[in-house]
Structure 1
């Protein structure tokens, strides 16, 4: 088991019935806006996170597809879980920006994946996190990058 607090919580929860759902609710309470899509953190490991959410009326746009902002919310949730589960203890992160491209209509439930290369956390003050969202049939509906500032944690007095 990992020594990272978020990974430990996830790994413990994943062993319980509906544990991933419970973990996802707790995670969404940390950043309440994530809760608007009712995400499920389906997989979490260092440098990788997969989040899913259901297509339902509350996340649809005027043409009946999943609204891209709901999809970006899922991609940011995946990035946030990945970052907290992966970053070395002496570093901290904050989002700097997000670049996305809409590539297809989002007509089904959505899977959002965030990932970085192993060892990427030590490469400098900016870290690009690849984010991709898929329909149920595997079609990419949104792809992009979330840019993070990565800095040393300040010394505690």
Structure 2
């Protein structure tokens, strides 16, 4: 009985694999923060043209749709995007603004709300068995 490991403890192998997984996930979070900020800078750069606004918002929506619905994926991308746009709304030293107060600028600012909500929805707890087929064809009769 003295040679067996105590139940519930992690072996050194499983501890190292858990550490590797956490390190990899942290790297993904940082990359997605930077990716969200990069997409936001691109949206801000092209939003004065109608086709640029459409292209930028489509790229943002496509990225959010393609990312997994997990806290470590959608949320950092949305956070990087929203924070970058909000920082850009401040005035410049010259007295002008990066995001103009025109319909395109207001569309970008309204998109901040949608992107933030999408990122926040990824934080909701997952229900066990959600999305799995339970085998029942409908309500019991």
Same fold per TM (> 0.5)?
Answer: no
Flag the structure with more relative contact order, 1 or 2, with Cα contacts below 8 A and sequence separation at least 6: 2
Question: Structure 1-normalised TM-score?
Answer: 0.30
Comparing both structures, which one devotes a greater share of its residues to helix?
2
Comparing both structures, which one devotes a greater share of its residues to strand?
1
Instruction: State the structure with more CA Rg.
Output: 2
Question: Structure 2-normalised TM-score?
Answer: 0.32
